[in-house]
Structure 1
Amino acid sequence: MSLDHKKVKEIAYLARLNIEDTDIEQATAELNNILSLMDKLGEIDTGDSEPMAHPLKMSQRLREDKVSEDDLFEEFQAIAPKTGKGHFLVPTVIE
């Protein structure tokens, strides 16, 4: 796949990028180089490769999931200006 100047301008517009007319030639060449690389990567046979969650053979250390704070729900509900059935009511009009 190869892009021309018109296509690059359309892509720049859609991506909300301001590419000056003096830079269109360079941007077109760079995008075509990227697309060429993607085509080469697509030709690689990866059928025997196992999917990896991480590029290194290591597990992710996670902290133990435990409650570290008290449940203050009732106290917060008590001082709220308006509450519903277990939730806070937000006024639609600022008084």
Structure 2
Amino acid sequence: MSVTIDDVTYIAELARLRFSDDEALKMTDELNTILHYVDTLNEVDTEGVLPLSNIHDQKNVLRADEEHEPIANAAALSNAPDSQDRFFRVPKVLG
């Protein structure tokens, strides 16, 4: 598979990009180089190789999901720099 300058122009139009003629030629060469590399990878013999989703043997390194009593509202607000009623007060972010 190879990319033509018409393909690059079409893709650029879809992406709302503008290329000069020289840039379009360069992009065509670069895309063809990438596709050639992918074709090279497709030639690798993977017969008998199992699909791999993770290189580590570890399955789940997270802590166990255990139920705990929720923190009391007053305790949570005790460390807050500013609060009002039972809510945290933070500076206005959006105009």
Structure 1 runs (4+) deviating above 4 angstroms are none
CA, structure 1 residues 33+52, in 2 after alignment: closer, same or farther (shift >3 Å)? same
Amino acid at match of 2:55: P
Partner of 2:9: 9
Alignment: residue pair count:
69
CA shift digits 1:14-43 (9 cap, x unpaired):
3x1514213111111110011101111111
List gaps (5 residues or longer) in structure 1.
71-95
List gaps (5 residues or longer) in structure 2.
71-95
Following superposition, the deviation at residue 10 of structure 1 comes to 1.0
Partner of 1:29: 29
Q: CA RMSD in A?
A: 2.0
Amino acid at match of 1:18: L
Q: Which has the higher strand share?
A: 2
CA distance in 2, matches of 1:27, 1:68: 57
